[in-house]
Amino acid sequence: MALEDRYPNLHVSRHPLVAHKLSLLRDKRTDPKQFRELVRELSWLIGYEAMADLTTQPRPIETPLEAMDGLRVEPKVGLIPVLRAGLGMVEAVLELMPSAEVWHIGLYRDERTLKPVEYYNKLPDAATVQVCLILDPMLATGGSSAATVDILKAWGAARIKQVSLIAAPEGIATLSGAHPDVDIHVAAVDRELNQRGYIVPGLGDAGDRQFGTFAGPASEPGHAHDETAEIVRRLQRNLRAP
């Protein structure tokens, strides 16, 4: 069964420009400047698709020739970039929706347990938007995304969407299992997670590649703690279970 049949909330782009730009993004020879540009271009395309179902209301306008009823987007939209890799996606989506509010949530993935740890949250006391787009280039284990949705639902967000460039089946299963009402929009779904929790074939660490902070061989996929490897194996077993 295809993942999109198994998870009706999953939306994988079929646009040829997305496929073309994603191939350039994956290439290990792509330098940080070009990588950031490609993240921005892909975010624009995926964000465009993610907002295709926003509701509208009539808006009376006058053209140079006559009066008519135009349309305006009805819900207030909030962009929630997950620090730090999600920052590279914000500008592109703001071009599509200049009136969107931007609220930051900081989560990092514990390298031993793969559990998300919150370290930054400046959301106001009550929700100020109706639709939230979580911006995170990689949907890997899904733990950080599920935790972000928990935060946004507690905040009072009425509708939440995940916008990513690449997803792993394990991450889709985790997020969909915890929050089946959250639509997931991605450029591609890759094969699996490796023992360190990296998406493969993937593109490496999206934050490091955007900001030129590659830490050397010890940070490469495959240098895993035993505990991390066991968590990934458990995610994979759960995904394969009927």
Could you identify the residue written with the tokens 């997803």?
Answer: 167
Residue 109 in this model has a pLDDT that exceeds 90? no
Residue 32 CA to residue 24 CA, distance in Å, equals 12
Residue 219 in this model has a pLDDT that exceeds 60? no
Distance of CA 69 to the CA centre of its chain: 35
Mean pLDDT of the chain: 88
User: Under a CB-based contact definition with an 8 Å cutoff, are residues 122 and 107 in contact?
Assistant: no
**6-24 pLDDT tens trace:** 999 999 999 999 999 999 9
Distance of CA 159 to the CA centre of its chain: 15
* Region 3-58+72-240: CATH code: 3.40.50.2020
Residue 235 in this model has a pLDDT that exceeds 60? no
User: Under a CB-based contact definition with an 8 Å cutoff, are residues 206 and 86 in contact?
Assistant: no
User: What local confidence, expressed as pLDDT, does residue 238 receive?
Assistant: 60
| Of 107 and 166, the one with more pLDDT | 166
Distance of CA 63 to CAs 27, 59, 67, 98, 218, Å? 47, 12, 6, 22, 61
Give the pLDDT mean for 129-158. Answer: 93
Range with the poorest average pLDDT among 78-92, 97-111, 120-134, 159-173: 97-111
Residue 116 in this model has a pLDDT that exceeds 80? no
Distance of CA 25 to the CA centre of its chain: 15
Token code pair at residue 48: 């465009």
**Is residue 172 exposed (0-12), middle (13-18) or buried (19+ Cβ within 10 Å)?**
buried
Token code pair at residue 100: 């969107």
Give the pLDDT mean for 166-191. Answer: 96
Give the pLDDT mean for 75-83. Answer: 93
Residue 99 in this model has a pLDDT that exceeds 80? yes
Distance of CA 46 to the CA centre of its chain: 10
According to DSSP, residue 195 is labeled T
Give the pLDDT mean for 161-167. Answer: 97
Per DSSP, the three-state class of 23 is helix
Residue 96 in this model has a pLDDT that exceeds 60? yes
Give the pLDDT mean for 89-115. Answer: 86
Residue 122: pLDDT band with limits 50, 70, 90? confident
User: DSSP for 128-139?
Assistant: --SEEEEE-SEE
Phi then psi dihedrals of residue 79, to 5 deg? -105, 130
**What are the residue ranges spanned by the domains of the chain?**
3-58+72-240
Give the pLDDT mean for 166-174. Answer: 96
User: What local confidence, expressed as pLDDT, does residue 217 receive?
Assistant: 42
| Of 99 and 113, the one with more pLDDT | 99
User: Under a CB-based contact definition with an 8 Å cutoff, are residues 222 and 196 in contact?
Assistant: yes
Percent of the chain clearing pLDDT 70 (strictly above): 86
Predicted TM-score (pTM) of the model is: 0.85
**22-32 pLDDT tens trace:** 999 999 999 99
Q: Which conformational region is residue 204 in: left (phi greater than 0), alpha (psi within -120 to 50 degrees), or beta? A: left
